[in-house]
Amino acid sequence: MAASTSLRFAFVLFWISVLASTALSDLVISKIDRRVDLTSQIVRVVSTLKVENRGHDTVSEVLLPFPDIQAKNMAYLKSSYHEGKGKGKQSAISLPVTLVHPEGMPPELTFYSVSLPRGLGKGDSFTLDVLTVFAHSLKPFPAEITQADAQLVVYQDSAYYISPYEVKVQTLAVRLPSGRVESYTKYPSTKLVDSEIKYGPFENLPPFSYIPIAVHFESSYPFVVVQELEREIEISHWGNVQITEHYNLVHGGAHIKGGFSRIDYQSRPPMRGESSIRHLIARLPPRAHSVYYRDEIGNISTSHLWANSKMTHFEIEPRYPLFGGWRTSFTIGYGLPLRDFLFESDGKRFLNTTFGCPINEIIIDHLIVKVVLPEGSKEISATVPFITNQWQEVKYSHLDIVGRPVIVLEKTNVVPEHNMHFQVYYKFNNLALLMEPFLLISGFFFLFIACIVYMHTDMSISKSSASYLAKQQLDEVRATVQQVQNIINRVLSVHNKLETSLRDLSRTGDVQSCKAVRKAADGLFKDLAKELKPLLGFLQSSPQASQIWPKVEELVAKEKEMQEKLMAKHSTVVDSFEKKHAKRDVENRVASIEQKLAILRQEVDELLDTIDDF
Amino acid sequence: MTSKPITSPVPVEWYPSLSVLMLSIGLVLTASFFIYEATSSKPSRSLSKEITIGVVASFFLGFGSLCLLLATGVYV
């Protein structure tokens, strides 16, 4: 199978060289160094190009072609340059790259165009760096291995850089993981030093020249491929950003044939299956809390979490080690504080968070990022540094009336270089936040209203039955008794006023005010007695009140007695005061009345209590 | 472009204490509502008093249950 792919590769390149017409002759690549990194499952190619303008017109773009087979696997392309030379070199400034379709070019090539910051004048040269990341470019060969075998993979490329321009000098360095190199295409001046294969330097090559190379080497790096990842980022303005990630993982390396022996796996090194997936390391943002790791069966306890101020380190082990072709699925969730991710500027709020997944060195075939914004968010837009599919949907969650707007971003072929920050802008009115407690409050209020309605309505079926009428009369009696109680309490308060006036008299000696209080009390007593009369009449006549009537009668009688005695006492004291008798004399006179008053008061209180219980 | 971080209206550490406080006040008011209903007789009941106690009690119960949800981690 590898032979047929390499044949196809060579065939394609053959056609390119045959059909290569006069390429663009303005630019010349004076030097290109390519470094291919094959240490992990993701192939990274860093090329440093030095272009020179040999023509007359200013050139503003550089074309980068890739064979279609490679372009299919290309996940990320970035171009940058450094301002200044030598010591004054600053950090890389990125250049815009776009996909173009120029005419007159050989088929089966995909072209990208890098726009230069300033037009390149005649005779000028410019150095730029290009980083290309390929996913699924390493093919396991043999495709099936046993548990004890080492995993061997094949990488195919062209030793000459395929370019529409003439190339003066070029080199290619392929860095391999330390391990066995099964075979590699040897051309004159090819060296293998320290797990690094160096091809070149090749000089003065015409445009679109190629020679195929294939490197067959051992790679025990675990090939973690996530077929489907769904990340849900839920924002709650009450203080939390909750991220939930659903993974569908598969081991993308050589499939395992023969059986899996756990004993062998845990024992001698050669049988251990070095290329199996044993654990995954995720770097969560700092201050992550409530981290969970579970799948459809339940919680998975084989995980380790430790946090420092820069990040939260989360190491998870799947329920079983994954060999080639095996799959697993799980869910990770964690909460983050709101102030690290949500910001406000120019009246709009925006969420600033990373796009990719926190697990390092994995390839994601299909990534869906859903950002769930609180209810009432308007004018939602997302700014992502690369191309994604976007659409909006609605999610119904806790305490929702109309649902929460969700903006969905979709991307295929995602590599760790895509783990950049992206922003989602929206407008939110703070008052909309109060809708949630308002919903709860109205729920509870509805219960209270239901209770009030129940108490106020009369839901008896027959309105003329004896028991219903009896109940009604009892209610009336109760109401009347309560009113009587009310009046008696008012009378007692007048008694208290009289007593206080007597005490004031002994303190201040003001007879006039005392007499005034007495007069007022007299008037009040008369009024209250008048009020009491119809109530007592009703109670006497009502048959339902037969139980309570004697007590009420007793209460009224005792109260009257108290009234009389108190008035007597009052007049005695005032009299003695006017006649300026000695204090001890006064006390002797009212002693007996005081005693009787005390007893009466106690009895009245008891009667009031019993009536209360009715 | 100055962007300032957005935080919750109430500090997150206060949610448990706030929920206990509001729920207890709400439950006391609910109890007073039901006591009033039980001890008053038909003519002496006043609708305005009932509704007032009901409104205030449901206000405290609503906020208390919201803070309870937030304190337990269900960030609604």
Predicted ipTM of the assembly:
0.94
A239/B1 CB distance under 8 A: no
Query: Mean pLDDT lowest for which of A255-269, A326-340, A383-397, A501-515?
Result: A501-515
Contact criterion met (CB below 8 Å) for A357 and A333: no
A445 pLDDT higher than 50: yes
Q: In terms of Cα–Cα distance, which of A548, A133, A119, A527 is closest to A361?
A: A133
Can you give the pLDDT at residue A23? Answer: 46
Q: Return the residue of A nearest to B40 by Cα.
A: A479
B59 touches A: beta carbon within 8 Å: yes
**Chain A residues within an 8 Å CB radius of B58:** 441-442, 444-445, 447-448
**Residue A353: Cβ within 10 Å count:** 21
Query: Mean pLDDT lowest for which of A19-28, A156-165, A408-417?
Result: A19-28
Can you give the pLDDT at residue B57? Answer: 95
Percent pLDDT > 70 in chain A is 94
pLDDT digits (tens, 9 = 90+) for A472-491: 888 788 888 888 888 888 88
Task: Tell me the residue type at A586.
Answer: V
| Section A305-329 average pLDDT | 92
A24 pLDDT higher than 70: no
**Chain A interface mutation, best of B7, B40, B58, B68, highest count of A Cβ atoms under 10 Å:** B58
Can you give the pLDDT at residue A554? Answer: 82
A93 pLDDT higher than 60: yes
Can you give the pLDDT at residue A1? Answer: 47
A433/B9 CB distance under 8 A: yes
Can you give the pLDDT at residue A215? Answer: 92
Q: A481 to chain B nearest CA, in Å? A: 11
Q: How many CB pairs under 8 A join A and B?
A: 112
A451 pLDDT higher than 50: yes
Query: Mean pLDDT lowest for which of A85-99, A146-160, A187-201, A590-604?
Result: A85-99
- As a whole number of angstroms, the distance between CA A29 and CA A63 comes to 11
A96 pLDDT higher than 90: no
DSSP state of A407: E
Report which of residues A325 and A535 the model is more confident about. A325
Can you give the pLDDT at residue A22? Answer: 44
Average pLDDT score over chain A: 85
**Chain B residues within an 8 Å CB radius of A239:** 7-8, 12, 70, 75
In chain B, which residues have pLDDT < 50?
A: none
Look at residue B39 and give its three-state secondary structure: helix
Q: Return the residue of B nearest to A237 by Cα.
A: B8
- As a whole number of angstroms, the distance between CA A110 and CA A178 comes to 33
| Section A368-385 average pLDDT | 92
pTM: 0.78
Can you give the pLDDT at residue A21? Answer: 44
A339/B42 CB distance under 8 A: no
pLDDT digits (tens, 9 = 90+) for A177-195: 988 888 888 887 788 888 8
A444/B44 CB distance under 8 A: no
| Residue A189 region by backbone torsions, left for phi larger than 0, else alpha for psi between -120 and 50, else beta | left
B55 touches A: beta carbon within 8 Å: yes
Contacts of A522 (CB under 8 A, 6+ apart): none
Look at residue A21 and give its three-state secondary structure: coil
Can you give the pLDDT at residue A242? Answer: 94
Report which of residues B70 and A465 the model is more confident about. B70
Q: Would strands A348-354 and A342-345 be described as parallel, antiparallel, or unpaired?
A: antiparallel
Can you give the pLDDT at residue A425? Answer: 93
A578 pLDDT higher than 70: yes
Query: Mean pLDDT lowest for which of A210-219, A249-258, A536-545?
Result: A536-545
The most confident of A261-270, A505-514, A524-533, by mean pLDDT: A524-533
Can you give the pLDDT at residue A15? Answer: 58
Contact criterion met (CB below 8 Å) for A405 and A394: yes
pLDDT digits (tens, 9 = 90+) for A292-315: 999 999 999 999 999 999 999 999
Can you give the pLDDT at residue A4? Answer: 60
| Section A31-39 average pLDDT | 92
**Would you place residue A316 in the very low, low, confident or very high pLDDT band (cuts 50, 70, 90)?**
very high
Can you give the pLDDT at residue A509? Answer: 73
Can you give the pLDDT at residue A3? Answer: 54
Contacts of B34 (CB under 8 A, 6+ apart): A451
B42 touches A: beta carbon within 8 Å: yes
